């Protein structure tokens, strides 16, 4: 990856995210705040140094522990008390796999962005392409039964990351980085619908009220053309990770273009990390 120069933030507490106090709103990009990487190899890589810094296990434990918000007051009416009962669904206790999930996510994103390079195309459109000599980036697999805490853990995890980061880079100008996308697997190996849903997820991340990239993917005739369009969008917005929920619905045939294999090929080309969430079936 080409090295860039930019200003680093000076932190009094290196364990606190550089985005502390900034509210992440859907569809709104956050201006990049860079923290010097402890790894010299990653210094000057804006996509890595703009990521929220990794936390220690004690901080993770505190963040993933959600206590009862309102303690029941004996003076409240029965109606008021019953309204508070559903709030118990928000209570969470830190589980051992939470720390592993955080560390694996950070490592997956870092490795994904290590294997990219800027391309200045003929039409002066910049893209971040995968280095063909590097291995494909590997995502995490979060598998467990219903009620095991997968969805709540993922929600807390992603709440730490700005989904879209806005960079202002020398000789390039403004460049948007989509850190992650979350999509559901589609039943019956309907990859036409799956690729269209990726376009919809990109539109939501960028704050487009209208279906811009979703419609662009829909216009592509064949499945191969849709896959190529998705690949171009991954490179255009430097997508770090695609998280696929309900992965048990997807086929893992080694020969079909309507299976996970096609995504593995896409990851090999773009170096996007493909992560999965679902039941262990």
- Which range of 7-11, 63-67, 107-111 scores highest in mean pLDDT? It is 107-111
Q: What is the pLDDT of residues 229-245, one digit of tens each?
A: 999 999 999 999 999 99
Give residue-wise pLDDT tens across range 105-158.
999 999 999 999 988 765 557 889 898 778 778 899 998 888 777 888 888 889
The three-state DSSP-derived secondary structure of the chain is CCCCCCCECCCCCCCCCCCCCCCCCCCCCEECCECCCCCHHHCCCHHHHCCCCCCCHHHHHHHCCECCCCCCCCCCCHHHHHHHHHHHHHCECCCCHHHHHHHHHHHHHHHHHHCEEEEECCCCCEEEEECCCCCCCCCCEEECCCCCCHHHHHHHHHCCCCCEEEEEECCCEEEEEECEEEEECCHHHCHHHHHHHHHHHHHHHHCCCCCCHHHHHHHCCCHHHHHHHHHHHHHHCCCCEEEEECHHHCCCCCCCCCCHHHHHHHHHHHCCEEEEEECCC
């Amino acid at each position: 990856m080409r090295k860039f120069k930019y200003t680093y933030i000076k932190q009094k507490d290196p364990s606190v995210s550089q985005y502390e106090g900034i509210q992440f709103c859907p569809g709104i990009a956050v201006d990049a705040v860079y923290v010097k990487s402890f790894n010299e190899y990653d210094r000057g890589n804006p996509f890595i140094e703009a990521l929220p810094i990794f936390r220690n296990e004690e901080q993770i434990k505190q963040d993933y522990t959600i206590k009862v918000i309102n303690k029941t007051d004996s003076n409240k009416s029965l109606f008021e008390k019953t309204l508070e009962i559903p709030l118990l669904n928000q209570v969470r206790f830190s589980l051992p796999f939470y720390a592993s999930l955080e560390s694996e996510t950070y490592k997956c994103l870092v490795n994904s962005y290590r294997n990219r390079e800027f391309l200045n195309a003929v039409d002066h459109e910049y893209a971040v392409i995968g280095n063909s000599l590097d291995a494909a980036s590997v995502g995490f697999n979060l598998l467990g039964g219903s009620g095991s805490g997968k969805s709540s853990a993922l929600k807390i995890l992603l709440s730490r990351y700005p989904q879209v980061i806005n960079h202002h880079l020398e000789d390039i100008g403004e460049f948007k980085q989509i850190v992650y996308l979350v999509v559901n697997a589609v039943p019956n190996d309907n990859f036409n619908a799956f690729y269209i849903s990726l376009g919809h997820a990109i539109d939501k991340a960028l704050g487009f009220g209208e279906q811009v990239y979703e419609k662009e993917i829909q216009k592509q005739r064949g499945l191969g053309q849709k896959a190529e369009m998705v690949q171009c969008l991954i490179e255009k917005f430097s997508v770090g990770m695609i998280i696929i929920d309900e992965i048990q619905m997807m086929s893992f045939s080694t020969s079909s273009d309507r299976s996970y294999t096609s995504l593995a090929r896409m990851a090999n080309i773009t170096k996007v990390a493909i992560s999965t969430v679902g039941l262990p079936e």
